[in-house]
Every structure is written in structure tokens, then in C-alpha cells.
Amino acid sequence: MKLTAQSSVRYGFDFWCGLWKRVYMNPLFQFLNPSDSRSDFYNGFTAAYSRVLKPSKKLKKFDACTATVLEGFFHRLHLFKLEEGVETAMIDLHGFVYGVDCFAHMADDNYSAI
């Protein structure tokens, strides 16, 4: 949601329209729909980012450049998802190792005192 708000502010209404055309049926992007309960939250992000980000002057109309920006947006979104998956996997791994370690040392009174 934050990446979408940042990109919408930076690249403008044509970016938003192009994005909407590609994702309007995707449940992950339903916050773009004004009737969605998360829409106000998204609009808050957009308002906040519009105070600190300057719109791109190079994108004046929807053309090949905007299509390239959309492709970059989806690529960056994919990278965020991959990074999030790695972080989640590491947390799960640490939890698993801790559980195995505790189970392996249950009989050791000195270890359980820690």
C-alpha cells in the first residue's frame, strides 16, 4: 500500500489509471477502490507522501514511459514480496531452532535455568 501511494504521488494520475486498469480485479489492490474499507488509509498515505515527494515532470501523459514505470513498479513490488518472504522464513527458522534446542535440553537442569 505504501509503495503504491509513493508511486501514485511521484508519477501522477496517469500512473494511477494505468495501475488501476491492470489490477482492478486483484484483491491485493482493492484499497484503490473508493468503496473499500482500506481506501481511507491509502488516501492518508497518499496525502502524506504528497507533502514530501515531488511529482515527476517527465510523465505528462500515458505513453510508453508510463508503461515502463508501471513495469518497474511491479518489479519492485515483487522484490518487496521476496524480501518479506526471506524475513519470515528466517523468523520461522529461528523459532524452530529454539524449539528443537529447548526440547533437546529438557533434561539438563543447568540449561533450563537460563
Quick: pLDDT tens for 22-32.
888 888 888 88
End-to-end CA distance of the chain: 42
**Are 105 and 111 contacting, i.e. CB atoms less than 8 angstroms apart?**
yes
How many alpha carbons lie under 13 Å from residue 43 in its C-beta half-sphere? 8
Which pLDDT does position 93 carry in this prediction?
Answer: 58
Average pLDDT on 102-106 reads 56
pLDDT for 111 equals 53
pLDDT in tens, 39-89: 898 899 889 988 888 776 665 555 556 677 777 777 787 777 766 665 665
User: Where do the domains of the chain lie?
Assistant: 2-112
- pLDDT of residue 96 exceeding 60, the answer is no
Range 92-114 average pLDDT: 57
Phi and psi at residue 98, to the nearest 5°: -60, -45
Return the C-alpha torsion angle 67, 72, 75, 76, nearest 10. Answer: -140
Q: Is the pLDDT of residue 91 over 70?
A: no
Asked if pLDDT for residue 103 goes beyond 60, the answer is: no
